[in-house]
Structure 1
Amino acid sequence: MATDYVLAHGLIGLSLRPLAAELGTSDRMLLYHFGTKDELVADVLRCSNDRAAASIAALAPSRDLRSAVENLWAAVQSDPVDRCTRIYVEASALGLFGQEPYAAVVRAANAVWTAALVAHLVRSGVADDLAPRAAELVDAAFMGFQLDLPLDVDPAARARSVADLADTVAALA
């Protein structure tokens, strides 16, 4: 329930009182169960990331590496992965400056997320030795694309960028 609230309202500026009210409890009870607000947020981030990774795991295999990139982008843009990614970006910004528990949770989330991408690529016929390299490139590009989304980048330009990425990654094979 806390994860759903954060996915709907965001992480930055999160206040325990409205969260507790939404959950039908008190902010003191949240602290009793989680210890600190940071630990509650860390649990929310882990749950959110697990949901995103499960969505990728549920994807049908793609026909080839190029289509896998396109299918992964479509999945990343759909709910719930899109909302989970936005929370990840917020936590990453906090973790970038070494703020804990964000830095540690983001590192762990990266490992889970990357494993989901690699697994999808392998299920799609990508060689085991190439899949991690392709996943790293895809993940980095997707993160950049997602950071630009609120900037009203032309959808046609974004589609071209995704197609270019798919061609580039496919050329690795």
Structure 2
Amino acid sequence: MSAPPSRERHRLLALVADHILQRGVNDLSLSSLARAVGSNNRMLLYYFGSKEELLDEASLVALERFPGIDHLMGELDDDGPPGPLLERAWLRIADRRNRPFLRLFFELFSLHTWHPDRNAGYFRRIATQWPEGVARLLVREGYDETTAQECAVAIVALWRGLQISLLAGADPEDLRAAHRRSLASILGLQTIS
């Protein structure tokens, strides 16, 4: 159980978010994290309960710094056909300014696969938010619920794969072309305009 919100708690959380965006979380101990943010283990545990809770919350704070990603699903509620809206979503995800968050996301995901109890809340949210947002768009456009859900899972999986390629150094324009072709195939369209 963590302490109630306070100015100091918010300050520490912001500093931890800065730290993990710059350096990642691999081999990060509570002690090294405390030193990096000018605190101590006891205070971090008081405010956050555990290192895992602290990193879970700091990851969400980090996400808020990348509005192109944080508000992505809300933008799918805009009017318009799904193809262009999903294309715009991919361009937001792939924006160079979002790379620090993408690196952190995949690092946390990798650690989560080895230790499912770590950052479990964060990944429960991630696993449902994007597919639900995409499915909502597709249902609004006339897809039945089952097809919308299946297509949404495929689209989010496409995005994840393209994000890995992006971080590995693939040409963004090649990835954009692959996205358009794959998206058209998933949605059963001839092209994405």
TM tier relative to shorter chain = 0.7 to 0.9
Whole-angstrom distance in 2 between the partners of 1:108 and 1:7: 19
Q: Which amino acid aligns with 2:133?
A: A
Answering whether residue 89 of structure 2 is matched by residue 72 of structure 1, we say yes
Whole-angstrom distance in 2 between the partners of 1:48 and 1:112: 17
Using the TM superposition, give the Cα deviation of residue 143 of structure 1 relative to its aligned residue in structure 2, in angstroms: 0.7
2:55 corresponds, among 41, 60, 69, to 41
Question: Which residue number corresponds to residue 162 of structure 1?
Answer: 179
Using the TM superposition, give the Cα deviation of residue 79 of structure 1 relative to its aligned residue in structure 2, in angstroms: 7.1
Within a 5 Å distance, the mapping from 1:132-171 to structure 2 comes to 132-171=149-188
Asked whether the equivalents of residues 53 and 119 of structure 2 are also in contact (C-alpha less than 8 Å), the reply is no
Gap regions ≥5 residues in structure 2: 1-13
The structure having more radius of gyration, on CA atoms, is 2
Q: Which amino acid aligns with 2:75?
A: L
Using the TM superposition, give the Cα deviation of residue 139 of structure 1 relative to its aligned residue in structure 2, in angstroms: 0.8
Asked whether the equivalents of residues 65 and 124 of structure 1 are also in contact (C-alpha less than 8 Å), the reply is no
Asked whether the equivalents of residues 21 and 104 of structure 2 are also in contact (C-alpha less than 8 Å), the reply is yes
Answering whether residue 101 of structure 2 is matched by residue 87 of structure 1, we say no
Whole-angstrom distance in 1 between the partners of 2:162 and 2:126: 19
Q: 1:3 to 1:80 in 2, by over 3 A?
A: farther
Task: Give the SS at the match of 2:71.
Answer: helix
Greater RCO structure (CA 8 Å; 6+ sep): 1
Within a 5 Å distance, the mapping from 1:18-57 to structure 2 comes to 19-20=33-34, 23-48=37-62, 54-57=70-73
Q: 1:27 to 1:113 in 2, by over 3 A?
A: farther
Q: How many residues align?
A: 172
Task: Give the SS at the match of 1:127.
Answer: coil
Q: 1:149 to 1:24 in 2, by over 3 A?
A: same
Using the TM superposition, give the Cα deviation of residue 73 of structure 1 relative to its aligned residue in structure 2, in angstroms: 0.3
Question: Which residue number corresponds to residue 143 of structure 2?
Answer: 127
Using the TM superposition, give the Cα deviation of residue 116 of structure 1 relative to its aligned residue in structure 2, in angstroms: 3.3
TM-score normalised according to structure 2 size: 0.69
Using the TM superposition, give the Cα deviation of residue 148 of structure 1 relative to its aligned residue in structure 2, in angstroms: 1.4
Identity within the alignment, %: 22
Answering whether residue 124 of structure 2 is matched by residue 107 of structure 1, we say yes
**How large is the Cα RMSD of the aligned pairs?**
3.3
Asked whether the equivalents of residues 49 and 88 of structure 1 are also in contact (C-alpha less than 8 Å), the reply is no
Q: Which amino acid aligns with 1:165?
A: S
Using the TM superposition, give the Cα deviation of residue 9 of structure 1 relative to its aligned residue in structure 2, in angstroms: 2.9
Name the stretch that deviates more: 141-150 or 22-31: 22-31
Answering whether residue 8 of structure 2 is matched by residue 8 of structure 1, we say no
